[in-house]
Amino acid sequence: MGIFDLFLRFKKDPTRDWPAGTVSLPDIDQSGMLSGPLKFGCNLQQARFFGKPDKFTWKSSENCELLYARSGFQIEFECDKLDYVAFFIGPDEFLPDFPGLSFSQPVVRDKAVFNQKTTREFVRQIFGTPVTEDIDADETIMTFSKSGIILEFEFNPTGYLKRWNLFPEIVPGQHLEKS
């Protein structure tokens, strides 16, 4: 264990006093933007809306991860700004190792519910042609760009959705808006 790891071990969990909550998934509008209390670039305290996470982890001195395992998603903050959301939709070897992890069914408002039976063709019907589509024996990753947000859909070898990642598309020299 290095000195940096030791520092992170003693850094306080800013969610330690958050109330337990009934967590519901954040809605997504058609452009891929989160709705409700969370927007990309909002500060960590705005995630209090979801209640205390099942697990809080400092990934670095300015990057933290909040796992809502029972609801099947995690959010990450860089420099106190929301910069990543992952929905765990189906079995995947890279899922967080947490007892009671559930799979989520995120909703694109007025359009669709994404679950373990979601196919690549269905995602194309909702979002159009992907910017990239990486296909290999282990998985297929379809990437879309909508309203400055990257939507990354990961499918298992049989073509069903297992994970959906969202993060801001940062152009060099651009910074997330302050909330």
pLDDT tens per residue across span 98-113: 999 999 999 887 789 9
> How big is the CA angle at 34 (ends 92 and 154), to the nearest 5 degrees?
20
Select the more confidently predicted residue: 31 or 96. 96
Select the more confidently predicted residue: 18 or 35. 18
Q: pTM for the full model? A: 0.87
By the 10 Å C-beta count (0-12 exposed, 13-18 middle, 19+ buried), 132 is classed as exposed
Residue 3 has pLDDT above 60, yes or no: no
Which pLDDT score is estimated for 25? Answer: 73
Residue 163 has pLDDT above 50, yes or no: yes
- Give the tens place of pLDDT for each residue, 22-79: 677 767 776 556 666 688 888 999 899 888 999 999 999 899 999 999 999 999 999 9
Confidence bin at 92 (pLDDT 50/70/90): very high
Cα separation of 106 and 68, whole Å? 13
